[in-house]
Amino acid sequence: MKKNIVLFVLFVLPIVAYLFFASGVNGYTKLPVITPKVKDFGDWKSLDGNKVTLDNKITILGFGGANILENRGNLFNLNQKIYQRYHTFKDLQFVMLCPLGTEKDVQNILNSLDEITDLSQWHFLFATPQEINSFYDQLKLVDKLDVHSGTPNVYIVDKERNLRGRKKVQEYKEGYNTIHPAELSNEMLDDFKVILYEYRAALKKNRNATKQL
């Protein structure tokens, strides 16, 4: 009996553990596309006057809403859990879409963030609530924006403007709730690492192909 238990621990358990983890979120070799080819921002006004585009950037996309100052804690959570860790990655940007009229509130939030982090990869765009809702609708998401044209969720958009997430029935996830730091530290960080791995693998493959030429 003891011999069978030892054999089970030594040989069977490692296989079971491997199959379990391989089937989980971290087992993704590529994060599924939720919505392909979302449209770009166009000429929406940015806080610093610079043009912001989804093209050729990994974008963490959010919708601040008219009450963004009231919900500023969500931005601080995202800043602490994701932004500060990866903002030096040059192909990454954090973009928040906000209703016109919230510029001063956003500036107040940035003044607070500026004391603890480099803000170079944070971008805020402003449009009418109708334009923001129209942009959100074309993402074809399950959840809807609230009455303030905002949501606590943020989304991952890749360099080809594809919205990425999880598609499995029990793990479907199109956005990440900034109210909950644990969700940012776990699900979002897991999925974001998959995106980074995907691009780093592509870069390595391109370098090897160049060397062969």
Q: Which residue has the higher pLDDT, 42 or 207?
A: 42
141 in a structural domain: yes
In sequence order, the 6+-apart residues with CB closer than 8 A to the CB of 155 are: 60, 61, 62, 139, 141, 163, 165, 174, 175, 176
Give the pLDDT score at 30. Answer: 83
User: pTM of the full predicted structure?
Assistant: 0.82
3 in a structural domain: no
17 in a structural domain: no
What confidence category does residue 201 fall into, taking pLDDT thresholds of 50, 70 and 90?
confident
134 in a structural domain: yes
Q: Which of 51, 67, 82 is nearest to 155 (CA)?
A: 82
Report the mean per-residue pLDDT for the chain. 86
201 in a structural domain: yes
199 in a structural domain: yes
Angle at 32 between CA 91 and CA 35, to 5 degrees: 80
What confidence category does residue 7 fall into, taking pLDDT thresholds of 50, 70 and 90?
low
Residue 156, H or E segment: strand 150-157
Q: Which domain holds residue 109?
A: 31-212
2 in a structural domain: no
Give the pLDDT score at 24. Answer: 43
CATH of the domain at 41: 3.40.30.10
145 in a structural domain: yes
Q: What is the largest CA-CA distance in the chain?
A: 74
Query: In whole angstroms, what is the distance from residue 176 CA to residue 183 CA?
Result: 7
Structural domain count of the chain: 1
